[in-house]
A and B are shown apart, each in its own frame.
Chain A
Amino acid sequence: MHANDPLDVTRRSLIAGGVATAAVASTPLGAQDAPALAQRAPAATLPVSLKINGKTRKIDVDPRTTLLDALREHLDLTGTKKGCDHGQCGACTVIVEGRRINSCLTLAVMHDGDSVTTIEGLGQPGNLHPMQAAFVTHDGYQCGYCTPGQICSAVATLAEIKDGIPSHVTADLAAGIAPTEDEIRERMSGNICRCAAYSNIVTAIRDVAGERA
Chain B
Amino acid sequence: MKPFTYERADSAKAAAAAIAANPNAKFIAGGTNLLDLMKLQIETPAHLIDVNHLGLDKVEKTRDGGMRIGALVRNTDLAADRTVRRDYAVLSRALVSGASGQLRNKATTAGNLLQRTRCPYFYDTTKPCNKRQPGSGCAAIGGYSRSLAVIGVSDQCIATHPSDMAVAMRVLDATVETVNPDGAKRMIPIADFHRLPGTTPNIETSLQPGEFITGVTLPKPIGGMQIYRKVRDRASYAFATISIATVLQPDGSGRFAFGGVAHKPWRVEAADARASQGAAAVATAAFAGANPTAQNAFKVPLVQRTLAAVFTEAKA
- Choose among B6, B8, B32, B129 the residue that contacts A29 (Cβ–Cβ < 8 A): B129
The interface bits of chain B over 1-45 (1 if a CB of A lies within 8 angstroms of the residue's CB, else 0) are: 111111010000000000000001000101110011001111010
A173 at the interface (CB under 8 A from B): yes
How many of chain A's residues touch chain B, expressed as a range? 35 or more
Range for the number of chain B residues in contact with chain A: 35 or more
CB distance from B22 to the nearest CB of A (A): 13
**Contact present for A29 and B127 (CB under 8 Å):** yes
CB distance from B78 to the nearest CB of A (A): 11
Instruction: Give chain B nearest CB distance to A47 CB in angstroms.
Output: 12
Distance from B27 Cβ to chain A, minimum over Cβ atoms (Å): 12
| B6–A106 CB distance below 8 A | no
- The listed residue with most B CB atoms (<10 A of its CB), out of A1, A157, A165, is A165
> Does A105 contact B105, Cβ atoms closer than 8 Å?
no
Decide: A40 and B3 in contact? CB cutoff 8 A: yes
Whether A3 pairs with B105 at a CB distance below 8 angstroms is no
Question: B99 on the interface (CB 8 Å rule)?
Answer: yes
A43 CA / B4 CA spacing, docked (Å): 6
Docked pose: A57 CA to B103 CA in angstroms: 25
A-B contact count (CB 8 A): 190
Q: Does A99 contact B (CB under 8 A)?
A: yes
Q: Is A37 an interface residue (CB 8 A)?
A: yes
Across the interface, do A106 and B106 meet the contact criterion of CB distance under 8 Å? yes
Q: Given A9-B123, A28-B125, A165-B76, decide whether A3 and B118 contact each other with a Cβ distance below 8 A.
A: yes
A190 near B128: Cβ-Cβ < 8 Å: no
In contact, A186 and B236 (Cβ under 8 angstroms): yes
Contacts of A153 in B (CB 8 A): 101-102
Interface centre among A3, A36, A187 (most CB of B within 10 A): A3
Query: Contact string, B191-221, partner A, CB cutoff 8 A, digits 1/0?
Result: 0000000000000000000000000000000
Q: CB distance A173 to B92 under 8 Å?
A: yes
Main DSSP-derived SS at the A contact region:
loop
Q: Which residue of chain B has its CB nearest to the CB of A111? A: B52
Contacting residues of chain B (100-134) with chain A, CB-CB under 8 angstroms: 100-103, 105-106, 118-120, 122-129, 132-133
**B123 and A12 contact, CB distance less than 8 A:** yes
Q: In the complex, what residue of chain A is closest to B5 when comparing beta carbons? A: A43
Residues from chain B with a CB closer than 8 A to the CB of A33 are 24, 44
Would you call B233 an interface residue if the criterion is a C-beta within 8 Å of the partner chain's C-beta atoms? yes
Q: Are A110 and B92 in contact (CB under 8 A)?
A: no
Contact status of A190 and B102, CB under 8 A, knowing A2-B144, A2-B147, A5-B233 = yes
Chain B residues near A12 (CB-CB < 8 A)? 120, 123-124
Cβ-neighbour of B31 out of A13, A106, A190 (below 8 A): A106
Asked if B80 is an interface residue, CB under 8 A from chain A, the answer is: yes
Which of B44, B80, B120, B123 is A164 in contact with, Cβ under 8 Å?
Answer: B80
With A4-B147, A174-B86 as given contacts, are A187 and B101 in contact (CB-CB < 8 Å)? yes
Question: Taking the complex as formed, is A127 at the interface, i.e. its CB lies under 8 A from any CB of chain B?
Answer: no
Are A90 and B102 neighbours in the complex by a CB distance under 8 Å?
yes
Known contacts A2-B147, A40-B2, A165-B80; A170 and B96 CB within 8 A of each other: yes
Q: List 10 A-B contacts (CB under 8 A).
A: A4-B120, A4-B162, A16-B40, A17-B39, A30-B129, A37-B2, A40-B2, A102-B102, A105-B35, A189-B101
In the A-B complex, the 7 residue pairs with the closest CB atoms: A190-B100, A28-B125, A189-B236, A2-B120, A30-B132, A3-B123, A63-B6
